[in-house]
Chains A and B, each alone.
Chain A
C-alpha cells in the first residue's frame, strides 16, 4: 500500500541495529514470555500510545476525561511500514519505546520475534473480551500459542465494489458470484464498453494477499516452534494462475498503481469498472472518484466454487502492549476500551474511517445507513457478513517485509511481461525461507 522502495530501504535499518547489539542483555527483560501476573499498580499511571489513525487523539481525549488515574498521551506517527515500525524496533532495543502501539495484523509476528510484545492474557478483562471480536481477528492476536499479544482494532473484510452502470451496459445484471463468472464478465465488459473489469496493482503484495486469504492459502503455518513456509501452496498457485490468465488475455489493467491518481482517473472515466477491496476502501472510491456518485454498488466477493462463503481480509490493525511497558494491566484496560466502547468505536469510524474488529461495531448507526455514493445501498451489510466469513487460520510470517518485497517485485516484473505470477510465488517462497533462516527462525520443511 505504500511505496515499496522506501520501505525496503528503511527495512534495512533495524537489521543493522540488531546485528550491532545482537543478544544485548540490557533489553527490557523479556516481558513477553510469561503471562504470570498482571495486576493494576493502583497508582496514577501515564501511558504513551503510538497510532496513525486520523483523529485518534480525540478518542483518547474522551478516555482521559473519564479516567483521571490513567492518562494516555497520543503520538501520531506515519503509517507503520512507512517508518514507525522501525522507529519502534529501534526504541525496543534502546529502551525508549512507548507503552502501546497500533500494529497491523501482518506485523504482529515480527514484533513477537523481536520480543516486542507483552502477553496480556492474564490482565483483567482480557480473557472475557474474546467473544466481543470477530473470531478471526482474535485468533490473529494469539500468534499460534495460548497468549494474547494485542487487542484487535479494525479489519478489512473484502467485497466487490463495481460500477453498476457499466455492468448493466454490458448486460451483466447480477454481479458475478464466482471467479469464473467474474472472468466471463471481464470479457463481456471489455467487448461492450472497452473497460477493464479491474486493475492488477503494480508493486502491491497486500491486495493479492487478501485474495490468497479468501482461497485459504495461508502464507505460513506454525508448527510448534517451527515456521512452515507455504507461500507457494497449490491454493496460492490457483489464485496466481487465475490472475495470470486475466493479464495474458488483457482483461485487467496492468499499468496502474494502487491508490494512484491514475487509478482514480480510470475509475472516474469508466475505464476500470470494479475493485475487489476492503471495507475501508469505500471512502477511497467515494473521495477520489467523487463525480461517479450513485454509479457504484457493492457485492460479495466472487467465490472459488459456487455456493462457497469465504471472504478475504485486506489490512486492519491491533492495539498492542509493548514489552517495554511498566503498566501492562492499565495499558490492556485502555486497549480494550479503545476497541470495544461504542462511543470510541463510533468516533474512530467517523474520524478515522475504521471498520471495527469488535462485532458491536456492526451496530454503529453510521454502518447501518444507506450510503448515497453507492446509490443508497446499505453496503456495510455486505462487509458485516464478510467479516464473519474470513478464514481464522491465516498466518503471517515473522519476516513479512521480505516476503512482501519478493512478491511486489515479482508482480511488477510479471505485469511488464517478464515471468509470471506463479514464478513470483516460487521466488517469494524461497526468499521468505532465506530471510527466516537469516533471522535464526527454525524453518519446518
Chain B
C-alpha cells in the first residue's frame, strides 16, 4: 500500500514538474520551430553520410554515370574486397594505425589530462594560476601552426617518419586539461579526499580510487574529443610521415585520391574507404554516448 502511495506521489510530482515546464516554455510554435531546425540540421549532417553509403555500393562507371543519391548496380562486396586487398591489404594497416594513434593516443592523453586537471583543481601551490593560464593559452594555438616546429624538433632527435612522431604530439591536449580541472573541481569533494587521506591512502591512491572514479563521465568526454581530433588530424601525419605503412586512414585515402588521374579505379576505393573509415567513429560515439551526455552536463549546475 505504502509503496503504491509513494509511487503515485512521485508520479504526481513528475507530472506537475512536466506541466510546469510546458506552461513556461513549450508553446506549439516554439516546438514547431525547434523541430524544423533540428530536422534541417539532421538532414544537413546525414546527407553526406547517405551519399557515402549509396556511392560505396556502386561500380566505378556508375559512380560517375549515375545519380549520386540513388542506388544502382550493387557492387559493395567487390569494392570491399578490392579495398582490403589493394597493395597487400594496406588499407587495413592504415585502419589499425588510426585506431592505435587515436585509441591509445586518446587514452594516454585523457589520463595525462586527468592527472594535470586534478592536480590543478585539488592542490594549491605557487604559480598554479600562472600554469593554468599558460595551458589555457595552449588551447588558442592551432595544431596546424605547431606541426612544422614539431617536425624540426623530431628531425633533430631522429624520430620523423616513426610511430612516435604522430603519437607523442597527439597525447597532449590543453583543452583536456582545462576540462579536467573544471570537472575535478566540481565533482570531487574535498571532504572525500580528506577522508581517504585519513584512512592512510597515498596521494596516488586517492587520485586513482577517488578522483578518477568520480571524474569518469568527464573523462569519457575528453577521450571522445581527443579521439576525434586525432582520428581527423591530417596535417601532422602529412608533415611527419613518408612511409605508407605508418599512415593513418585519412592520409592513406588522401594519397589514393591524389593518384586518381593515373588510376581511376582508386576513386571508388576512396569512397568505399571513406565509408569504412567513419564506422569506428560512429561505433565509438554510440557506445560512449550515455557517458558523453552525462559528462557534458556534469558540473553545470554547481
Alpha-carbon gap, A82 to B255, bound state (A): 8
Which of A21, A79, A265, A352 is within 8 Å of B64, CB to CB?
Answer: A265
A353 and B262 contact, CB distance less than 8 A: yes
Q: What 0/1 readout, one digit per residue, does chain B (129-173) give for beta carbons within 8 Å of chain A?
A: 000000000000000000010011001100011000000000000
The A interface, classified by DSSP as helix, strand, loop or mixed, is: helix
- Are A261 and B64 also in contact (CB < 8 A) when A94-B155, A280-B262 are? yes
Given that A53-B262, A78-B255 are known contacts, is A94 also in contact with B156, CB under 8 Å in the complex?
A: yes
CB distance from B189 to the nearest CB of A (A): 48
CB <8 Å contact, B262 and A17: no
Instruction: Please encode chain A, from 16 to 31, with 1 for each CB lying within 8 Å of some chain B CB and 0 for all others.
Output: 1100010000000000
- Give me 20 A-to-B residue pairs in the complex whose CB atoms sit less than 8 angstroms apart, sorted by A's number: A2-B258, A13-B239, A17-B148, A54-B263, A75-B243, A76-B255, A78-B238, A82-B254, A82-B255, A90-B151, A94-B156, A259-B260, A265-B64, A268-B65, A280-B262, A284-B261, A288-B61, A288-B64, A290-B61, A291-B65
Point out the residues of chain A lying under 8 angstroms from B254, CB to CB.
78, 82-83
How distant is the Cα of A384 from the Cα of B175 in the complex, in angstroms?
A: 60
Complex contacts, B261 vs chain A, CB 8 Å: 1, 259, 280, 284
A1 CA to B155 CA, complexed, in Å: 31
Q: Is A95 an interface residue (CB 8 A)?
A: yes
Kindly state the separation between the CA atoms of A96 and B207 in the bound complex, as whole angstroms: 42
A1, A16, A96, A265 — which one has the most chain B CB atoms within 10 A of its CB?
A96
Known: A54-B262, A287-B265, A288-B264. A75 touches B156 (CB 8 A): no
- In this assembly, does B7 line the interface, its C-beta being within 8 Å of a C-beta of chain A? no
| B242 at interface by CB-CB < 8 Å | yes
Q: Let me know if B64 and A264 touch, CB within 8 A.
A: yes
Binary contact track A282-295/B, C-beta < 8 Å → 1, others 0: 01100110110000
Contacts of A10 in B (CB 8 A): 238
B15 in contact (CB, < 8 A): no
Q: Are B244 and A283 within 8 A (Cβ)?
A: no
Q: Please, which residues of chain B bring their CB within 8 A of the CB of A242?
A: none
- Does A52 interact with chain B (Cβ within 8 Å)? yes
Interface residues of B in 60-94 (CB under 8 A from A): 60-61, 63-65, 87
Q: Across the interface, do B64 and A94 meet the contact criterion of CB distance under 8 Å? A: no
Contact A52 B64 (CB under 8 A): no
A1-B261, A2-B258, A87-B239 known; A268 vs B64 contact (CB < 8 Å): yes
The residues of B that contact A290 with a CB separation of less than 8 Å are 61
Contacts A264-B64, A290-B61 given; indicate if A52 touches B258 (C-beta within 8 A). yes
- A385–B177 CA distance with the chains assembled, in angstroms: 66
In the complex, the chain A residue whose C-beta lies closest to that of B252 is A78
Q: Which of B243-269 contact A (CB under 8 A)?
A: 243-244, 251, 254-255, 258-266
Q: Please give, as numbers and ranges, the residues of chain B lying within 8 Å of A407 by CB-CB distance.
A: none
Closest chain A residue to B156, Cβ basis? A94
Q: How far is the CB of A69 from chain B (nearest CB, A)?
A: 23
What are the residues of chain B within 8 A of A195 when measuring CB–CB? Answer: none
Q: Could you tell me the distance between the alpha carbons of A13 and B263 in the complex, rounded to whole angstroms? A: 28
Per-residue 0/1 for B43-67: is the Cβ within 8 Å of any A Cβ (1 yes, 0 no)?
0000000000000000011011100
A79 in contact with B258 (CB, 8 Å): yes
CA distance A82 to B63 in the complex (A): 23
Q: Does A244 contact B (CB under 8 A)?
A: no
Which chain B residues border A378 with CB–CB below 8 Å? none
Cβ proximity bits A71-101 to B, threshold 8 Å, 1 near / 0 not: 0000111110011001100110111101000
- With a CB–CB cut-off of 8 A, which chain B residues contact A54? 259, 262-263, 266
Report whether A265 and B65 are in contact in the complex, using a CB–CB cutoff of 8 Å.
yes
CB distance from B163 to the nearest CB of A (A): 16
Given contacts A75-B243, A87-B238, A291-B65, contact A96 B263 (CB under 8 A): no
A94 to B91, CA, bound (A): 30
Enumerate chain B residues within 8 angstroms of A283, measured Cβ to Cβ.
262-264
Chain B min CB distance to A3 (Å): 9
Q: Which residue on chain A has the smallest CB distance to residue B264?
A: A287
B148 and A13 form a contact (CB under 8 A): yes
CB-contact partner of A78 in B64, B148, B258, B263, under 8 A: B258
Minimum CB–CB distance from B60 to chain A (whole Å) comes to: 7
Query: What is the minimal beta-carbon distance from A326 to any residue of chain B, in angstroms?
Result: 16
A16 contact set on B, CB distance < 8 A = 148
Given contacts A75-B243, A82-B258, whether A90 and B148 have CB atoms under 8 Å apart is yes
Q: Which residues of A contact B161 (CB under 8 A)?
A: 96
A50 interface contact, C-beta 8 A: yes
Residues on the A chain within 8 Å of B251, using CB: 78
Residue from the set A52, A283, A288 with the largest chain B CB neighbour count within 10 Å: A288
| Contact assessment for B264 and A284 in the assembled complex, using a CB-CB cutoff below 8 Å | yes
Q: Which residues of A contact B151 (CB under 8 A)?
A: 90, 94
Task: Determine the distance from Cα of A93 to Cα of B156 in the docked complex, in whole angstroms.
Answer: 11
* B263–A353 CB distance below 8 A: yes
Decide: B155 and A52 in contact? CB cutoff 8 A.
Answer: no
Could you tell me the distance between the alpha carbons of A194 and B197 in the complex, rounded to whole angstroms?
Answer: 86
**B88: shortest Cβ distance to chain A, in Å?**
9
Q: Closest approach, in angstroms, between the C-beta of A373 and any C-beta of chain B?
A: 13
Q: Chain B's nearest CB lies how many Å from the CB of A203? A: 15
Residues in A whose Cβ lies below 8 Å from that of B160:
91, 94, 96
Residues of B within 8 A of A75 (CB): 242-244
Q: How far is the CA of A79 from the CA of B244 in the complex (A)?
A: 13
What 10 A-B pairs are tightest by C-beta distance, nearest first? A94-B155, A78-B255, A82-B258, A287-B264, A79-B258, A78-B258, A264-B64, A261-B64, A290-B61, A75-B242
Chain A proximity of B148: nearest CB distance (Å): 6
Min CB–CB distance A187 → chain B (angstroms): 29
Least CB distance, A264 to chain B, in whole angstroms: 4
Minimum CB–CB distance from B149 to chain A (whole Å) comes to 8
B291 to chain A, nearest CB (A): 36
Please, which residue of chain B has its CB at the minimum distance from the CB of A263?
B64
Q: Cβ of B255 and Cβ of A96 under 8 Å apart?
A: no
A52 touches B259 (CB 8 A): yes
The reply to whether A83 and B148 form a contact with Cβ atoms under 8 Å apart is no
